[in-house]
Structure 1
Amino acid sequence: MNDLKVLIADDDAVSRAILRNFIRLFPNYDVVAEAATGEELLQLVFEKQPDIVLVDIGMPGLDGIEAVKLCRQSLPDVQVIFTTGYDEFAVKAFELSAADYIVKPIERTRLFQALEKARKFIEIARHPVVSMKSDKRLEIRSKHSIVWLPLEDVLFVEKENRKTIIHTADEQYETTTPLNDIEKRLTDCFLKTHRSYIINLKKVVKIVQIGETYAAHFFGCEKVAYISKLKFHEVQQKMSTIHL
């Protein structure tokens, strides 16, 4: 992949300089422009077509949140990393599918982690995962039986104490096979979203925030599967690339 184009938007010149100097130390990233206002950000996004924008939320006039909403209208695939002096805007950032959210003062390592996360999302978008083959089956061994379950029927897999439970719309299948071993047999449409859950992203119909975690709902199933806060953005990004 070629160097990724980065645009910095912050009304504070010192903050822009810090970000610019940090990014110069990282390979594969190129700062192509800087904006001091939300209005400038809009214009430069249109002109430069960046891959990643670093946006300060608290800019005067058109703030970072509103500016990003407008930027996405002309460049929907741009990856956004919000920067701010406060953590109170985290939920709004999540709602905009931001790649990351960094609280100032920004450390070099933390910035690099955020940029690498954005790079990963870009790679997923440019090289979509292969859709699941309908003829692939999951072998489920229990004490008295072996079941060969079509993967397209699996909604999610759950770890419960020492058991692993495979959920479909109509049935539940129990096995002593560890969750991590089950994960190795699944296709790219499945994602481990929590230490106790693997979800078939093709089957998710709704995600609801519950405190610090998120609940995934499935058609025809009353039970839900959980998504950790750390995995929420990856779920959103991967959902957008899967052929539904």
Structure 2
Amino acid sequence: MGTPPLRVLIVDDEPLARARLRTLLQADPTVVVAGEAADGEAALAACRSQPPDLVLLDIAMPGMDGLQTARALAECQPRPAVVFCTAYDAHALSAFEAEALDYLVKPVRAERLAAALARVRTFLAGRAAPAADAPGARRHLTARLRGSLRLIPIEEVHYLQAEEKYVVVHHARGEDLIEEPLKALEAEFAGRFVRIHRNCLVARAQLAELRRTADGHVQAVLRDVPRPLDVSRRCLGPLRELLQPR
């Protein structure tokens, strides 16, 4: 049996915008348009009745806007992937804080949409196979440097830390900035990295110990990083289990 099609819900208050996205999606035989909605409330109802894999979500909508809708979708089980489609690029930071996998500016180009769909498939594959890197996962991250590209081997990455709309990649040769959501990286490389904080993923192989500070906070000590990193209370349980001797 082949891979099931990607089920996509289109959410936009403008009929022409929905029609354009529908046309682009229907050109891809691996995609099924699971439905359309003109506002956030209708989108949530559609997701509850027939959960999609992906929601293509406008931001500026009457009533519940796209950012509010994305936060509500985060409570759905299973949680759909979210990609924002908007006429403005001013909401990019807020979009990634809402854990969107990508951010498309209207009019959406076919090649840009295809790249977003590929990222969504990687995210879904990573969620389905948490014990190892997702099938087809990259072996490098790519940082842009003054018009050139730098490839960072995944095995050289010590930890990934979100800062505003960027992720700082701390690796064996220094650090670089990439423009990818931390949530998407966590899904794609689920077998290699573990979350220690809302804004930080650490390479599992780098974890040496957990240490409690004098003021009661817990920090993760990494093998090749001189300073320890803060651990959130929410992440503490899974980290302790990970460090238990087998």
Q: Is the 8 A contact 2:26 2:32 kept in 1?
A: yes
Pairwise CA distance, 1:71? 1.0
Task: Determine the C-alpha separation between the residues in 2 that align with 1:85 and 1:78.
Answer: 22
Question: What does residue 18 of structure 2 align with?
Answer: 16
The answer to whether the 8 Å contact 2:124/2:187 transfers is no
Gaps of 5+ in 1: 132-187
| Structure-1-length-normalised TM-score | 0.64
> What residue number does 1:49 align with?
51
CA distance 1:94–1:232, change in 2 (3 Å): same
Q: C-alpha separation between the residues in 1 aligned to 2:101 and 2:88?
A: 17
CA shift digits 1:6-54 (9 cap, x unpaired): 1000000111111112111111110111100111011111111100100
Superposition RMSD in Å:
3.1
Following the alignment from structure 1 to structure 2, what is the Cα–Cα distance between the partners of residues 38 and 95? Answer: 18
SS in 2 for 1:33: strand
User: Scaled by the length of structure 2, what TM-score is found?
Assistant: 0.63
* Distance in 1 between residues matched to 2:190 and 2:69, nearest whole Å: 22
2:69 counterpart (63, 67, 70): 67
> 1:62, 1:22 → 2: CA distance?
26
Paired residue for 2:141? 192
Separation in 2, partners of 1:203, 1:189: 16
| Secondary structure of the corresponding residue to residue 207 of structure 1 | strand
2:98 equivalent in structure 1? 96
Shift of residue 75 of structure 1? Answer: 3.2
Deviations 1:94-115 (A, max 9, x none): 1222121110111222222211
- TM-superposition CA deviations, 1:76-98 (whole Å, max 9, x none): 53111100000001111112221
One-letter amino acid matched to 2:13: D
- 1:238 is aligned to 2:188: yes
Q: Matches of 1:112 and 1:217 in 2, distance apart?
A: 29
Which residue does the alignment assign to 1:228? 178
Secondary structure in 2 aligned to 1:73? Answer: coil
For residue 190 of structure 1, report the CA deviation from its aligned partner: 7.6
For the 8 Å contact 1:215–1:224, the answer to whether it is kept is no
Question: In structure 2, how many angstroms separate the alpha carbons of the residues matched to 1:198 and 1:227?
Answer: 14
**Number of aligned residues:** 183
Measured at CA, do residues 74 and 213 of structure 1 come closer, stay the same or move farther in structure 2, by a change above 3 Å?
Answer: closer
Larger C-alpha radius of gyration, 1 or 2?
1
In structure 2, runs of 5+ residues without a counterpart are 144-149, 195-246
Match of 1:207 among 135, 139, 161: 161
Contact 1:193 1:226 in 2 (8 A): no
C-alpha separation in 2, matches of 1:47 and 1:67: 16
The change in CA–CA distance for 1:236 and 1:200 in structure 2 (over 3 A counts) is: same
Superposed, 1:53-202 pairs within 5 Å as 53-75=55-77, 77-130=79-132, 192=141, 194=143, 195=150, 197-198=152-153
* 2:51 maps to 1:31: no
Provide the C-alpha distance between the structure 2 equivalents of 1:118 and 1:196, rounded to a whole number of angstroms.
22
2:168 maps to amino acid: A
2:152 and 2:26 mapped to 1: Cα distance? Answer: 39
Partner Cα distance (2:49, 2:110) in 1: 28
